[in-house]
Amino acid sequence: MNEKEPTLSDYLDVLYRYRIFVGIVVIVTTLSALIFSFTAPRIYEGEVTLRVALRKVPTPLFTELGPIPQIDPVASEIQIIKARTIAEMVVNREALNVKLNNGLSRACFDTIWVEPTLKKKYLLTSASPGYILLGVAGETLSVFRPNDTVVLADGFGFIVNRPGLSGQIEIKDFYQVADAIRGEIKVSRIRDTDIISLKAKARSPALAARISNAYANSYLDYTLNYMRREARSSKEFIEKQIENVGKKLDQAETKLKTYKESTGIFILDESANQLIGDIAQLEANRAEAYVSRRESEAKLENLNSELEDKSRTFGSYRLAARAPGLSNNPRIQALKKRLSDLELERSELLKTYPKEDQQVKKVDEQITRTRQEIDGAVEKALSVGPSATDPVYQNLVSQLIQTEATRNALEAKISAFDREINRLNRRLSKLPETEVRLAQLQRNAKVNEEIYTMLLNKREEA
């Protein structure tokens, strides 16, 4: 038996039959939407645009250390802005966990500050010529006048800027407020630029503006503090090295002058001068690699210090990161030894062949692969333990991995330089006995001069 397909007329008949019900549904829905639109609290949006402070990526001293990771720096900074760390800075900066009730508003206070761990209620009452601050049990906590600075022992403080106010002050959970604030912001990149748009939603235009501005200022504070720590550590080390090498240079030049005057020997042959020049250049390159390694170590100290400060999120990571013993990890040590051998092989090849030669390119490829293996080994060693989803945490760990790998590669480079310098020094010692001492003194003076010049350039860059 074939069933008849319903026609348009059938549908119209059904609608006509239930026309009253359909009409009621439409009217109720429309009225509900109108009532909601008029009674729902207004949501305002504050927006700021800022040019992100892209972290300075140091140019590798030696291109053979491997390719620079292709990471979108703007996307990384966006994730940092969205992180809970920045949200907590915003809440702390603007005291957003302080709720003012019964006629009190933020405009009534010049300043409010509160410890993140505090969660409490207070009652502010007007009492001529000033105020009384009461606790939840009615106890008097403070008596003060307008524009007085009030600081309580429990970690709450403020300055009221006008008389005649009364109301309740409620301090809400700091971390819950920070999480709520994170849900009310939107961060996006403006096309293909390094400019970011940050929008914050709130129930008043003033609060929306405060939150968006606080986000921008907190992000800038976070970035500037990080950069200043890194730059300060690097510059202090370079300044000390300049002072030490400057003294060594003066001593070396004085000894060379004295020896020439006492022996009457002033000139070495061309081959000896060439040998001294080669040693001096290698020593300068080694010193530059050493300074860069020290900069990496200083950066590691800063990163570890920052992880220590975030003990709630990062404490478990610190325990895990210590466990592998990176400095004694057999695989990392073996890879560093291989990289050192390859660096030395490349140095020997460049004495005979140009960089474009196939033999040199082949060694370059092996160096790149070994560097990548070191990266992987370090990452594996550091990945032990619980993970964390906070973007700031992820950014710190990513930097830690990259910096540790860079330091390992620089150690291999320094080792290769040491072996080549020792080989050339052995050749230098085979000169005629009357020239050996002069050659050694000239070498010391030349080496310290090259290193001193390099350090001065480094200080300008820092």
pLDDT digits (tens, 9 = 90+) for 43-61: 788 889 888 766 554 444 3
pTM, rounded to two decimals:
0.52
Query: What is the spatial order of strands in the sheet that 195-202 belongs to?
Result: 44-51, 195-202, 185-189
Residue 58 confidence (pLDDT): 43
* CB contact at 8 A, 235 and 459: yes
Residue 113 confidence (pLDDT): 86
Residue 309 confidence (pLDDT): 52
Question: For the chain, how long is the longest CA-to-CA vector?
Answer: 127
Percentages helix, strand, coil for the chain (3-state, rounded to 5) are 65, 15, 25
Looking at the DSSP assignment, which residues form a beta bridge with residue 113? Answer: 157
Q: Which amino acid is at 342?
A: L
Work out the number of other CB atoms within 10 angstroms of the CB of residue 336. Answer: 19
Cα–Cα distance for residue pair 93/112, rounded to 1 Å: 9
pLDDT tens digits along 436-445: 777 777 777 8
Q: How many helices (H) and strands (E) does the chain have?
A: 12, 11
Residue 386 confidence (pLDDT): 38
* CB contact at 8 A, 182 and 82: yes
Kindly provide the residue ranges of all beta strands, DSSP E only, lying in 135-288, ordered along the sequence: 140-144, 150-151, 156-160, 167-171, 185-189, 195-202
DSSP letters, 65-105, are G-PPP---HHHHHHHHHHSHHHHHHHHHHHTTTEEE-TT--
SS3 324: coil
Residue ranges of the chain whose pLDDT lies below 70: 1-4, 39-41, 53-71, 230, 233, 261, 263-269, 305-333, 377-397, 432-435, 462
Residue 285 confidence (pLDDT): 84
pLDDT tens digits along 100-123: 988 888 889 988 988 888 999 999
